[in-house]
Amino acid sequence: MALEDEVRIVHAIKAINSDAKFTITENGNVDTAEITWLEGFPEISKADIQEKFDELKAEYEAQEYARNRQREYPSVQELVVALYDTDDKTAVDEKRAAVKLKYPKP
């Protein structure tokens, strides 16, 4: 799952078994999601899916600071320019430090 993706039920199922074959009508609620297991694939219990979903959601939420930092860090272009100009490098360092201060690691 990419960092910017929201956690979905399908992610929980695939985290339990990446080979799982199924269709799902996902509404964000494991209990009411309609899951059809395909090709004779053994059903994964909704309790197991909910447990994995909660685990993935907690991991996602714990990384909010990283997503916030990513949006505000200097761009690649700014970093490249900073390689050739000491003043630009200082400005980039200051910008990164300010972002880290604004969004500290938990």
Into how many domains does the chain fold?
2
- Same domain assignment for residues 16 and 51: yes
- Same domain assignment for residues 72 and 97: yes
Given a cut of 70, whether residue 1 has pLDDT beyond it is no
Given a cut of 80, whether residue 5 has pLDDT beyond it is no
Nearest to 19 by CA among 46, 44, 47, 54: 44
The whole-model pTM stands at 0.69
- Same domain assignment for residues 33 and 78: no
Asked if residue 45 belongs to a domain, the reply is yes
In the chain, DSSP assigns E strands to 22-25, 34-37
Kindly state the average pLDDT of the residues 4-12: 84
- Same domain assignment for residues 49 and 87: no
Amino acid 27: pLDDT = 77
Contact 19, 1 (CB under 8 A): no
Kindly state the average pLDDT of the residues 21-31: 90
Q: Distance (Å, rounded) from C-alpha 55 to C-alpha 85?
A: 45
- Same domain assignment for residues 70 and 58: no
Asked if residue 17 belongs to a domain, the reply is yes
- Same domain assignment for residues 54 and 23: yes
- Same domain assignment for residues 92 and 49: no
Virtual torsion, Cα 20, 21, 25, 30, nearest 10 deg = -20
**Mean pLDDT, the chain, integer:** 89
- Same domain assignment for residues 49 and 24: yes
Structural domain boundaries, residue 53: 9-62
